[in-house]
Amino acid sequence: MAFPMQRELYLPTVPTLTVSSQMHSGLSGPSLGSHGPSGPMAARLATGKQAPVAPSRFSAASSSSAAVTVGSGPKTAAFSPYVLNGGTALALAGKDFCIVAGDTRMSAGYEIHTRNKPKTYRINDKCSIAMAGMQADATNLIKMLRFRIAMYERKMGKPMSTQSLAQLVSTTLYRRRFFPIYAFVVIGGLDEDGVGSVYGYDAVGSFERSTCCVQGSGTSLLQPVLDNQFDFKNHSIKPDELTLDESIDLVKDVFVSAGERDIYTGDSVEMHIITADGVRVETFDLKRD
């Protein structure tokens, strides 16, 4: 695997007590943390604390250590095109079903932008996509995908299969290898045989098929739990595979748990339940704290 896995990229940033300059710096003048003479340059003193751990060269531009000295003037925190809006998305694949779910909280730093922005997108009767990461990039990505999916359907006269979509997402992400789309995608759907399938990606398009994948700020909390409780990894005696209803309950449980420990996960969850009958959408509430 030539590319860093998304989980490495997704080390949660530790919020500091400084009010994030990304949030307000230029917008309301100099940062809280700036000292000394102010003036038109004062705003430049702002140092980004809420740096998303963005891929490669851009992480420098937005991290707190990125301030560069221009001549003898004050330090400049350059514009960062990336923000991390948090949130958790996941997908589970059963024998004849798939569940795609994401919470609806959208944050930036300590601020909750909105409590109702779903991360799940229905593609067709056989699959849905969920995305965490940067909302603007994710929205743009889904627009690009929707366009290419529509073109495919017009040309081929049939809906796109989950496998084809999986490859399309990868190439779409990789096209932006050197200005990555800061979105972490998971696809859930049924394959050509009607078996549940899940594909998980990193920001630049590396992907693999699995039966359960978590993306976003809750990854480190939920992925090991699901590995154990859905895939029964490390169990010497494998219990029976979870049924659809048991899987739905598990999804609810893990989201409630993520909501307890991860400040970026909460408010509510939108869940797409995909079976041979199509996609059913369910929502349930999480704590809003």
* Binding span for other proteins by CB under 8 A among 38-46, 188-196, 202-210, 267-275: 38-46
* Binding span for other proteins by CB under 8 A among 2-10, 16-24, 197-205, 253-261: 16-24
Q: Does 142 bind other proteins (CB under 8 A)?
A: no
* Binding span for other proteins by CB under 8 A among 7-15, 110-118, 198-206, 229-237: 110-118
Q: Does 135 bind other proteins (CB under 8 A)?
A: yes
Q: Does 141 bind other proteins (CB under 8 A)?
A: no
Q: Give whichever of 77 and 99 is closer to other proteins, judged by the CB atom.
A: 77
Q: Closest Cα to residue 167, out of 197, 140, 137, 138?
A: 197
Phi and psi at residue 24, in whole multiples of 5°?
-125, -15
Q: Does 67 bind other proteins (CB under 8 A)?
A: no
In angstroms, what is the minimal distance from the CB of 156 to other proteins? Answer: 28
Which residue of 59, 139, 167, 206 would you call a contact of other proteins, by CB under 8 A?
139
Q: Give whichever of 47 and 211 is closer to other proteins, judged by the CB atom.
A: 47
Q: Give whichever of 16 and 114 is closer to other proteins, judged by the CB atom.
A: 114
Interacting residue ranges for other proteins, rule: CB under 8 A: 19, 23-24, 26-30, 38-44, 76, 78-83, 85, 106, 108, 110-111, 113-117, 134-137, 139-140, 179
